[in-house]
Structure 1
Amino acid sequence: MSLANHLDELQRKHGDIERELDEAMLHPSVDDLEIAALKRRKLAIKDEIEKLRTQPTKH
């Protein structure tokens, strides 16, 4: 998988988690631990995206 494709996939996953998180926060029945887990997953993906974007390219 190319770097661009990998970044696209990570951005898609980040967006999916963001929508899932937004939906979960609308429902009071959703556990705070579940919301925290979604936030951690979202942040981990964001960190990976930034790491890939800032790493020097190999020639």
Structure 2
Amino acid sequence: MSLSSHLQELRKKHQTLSDAVEAAHRSPGVDDLKIANLKKQKLRLKEEITRLTPQTVH
């Protein structure tokens, strides 16, 4: 798998988690711990994306 396709897959997973967090916030019966875990997963993906994304030097 190329870096580009790997990043694309990570971004897709990040968006899916983002959607899940939003849906959980709208659902009154969702446990706060579940939301916190979703947010942690989302943050880990964001950090991985940032780490793998080539940085431009100015």
Find out whether 1:47 has 2:47 as its counterpart. yes
Find out whether 1:11 has 2:11 as its counterpart. yes
Runs of 4+ in 1 over 3 A off after TM superposition: none
Q: Could you say which residue in structure 2 is the equivalent of 1:32?
A: 32
Percentage of pairs with the same residue: 47
One-letter amino acid matched to 2:30: V
Q: Which runs of 5+ in 2 are unaligned?
A: none
Please report the TM-score for the alignment, with normalisation by the length of structure 2: 0.91
Instruction: Output the aligned Cα RMSD.
Output: 1.1
Q: How far apart are residue 28 of structure 1 and its match? A: 1.3
Aligned length: 55
Please report the TM-score for the alignment, with normalisation by the length of structure 1: 0.89
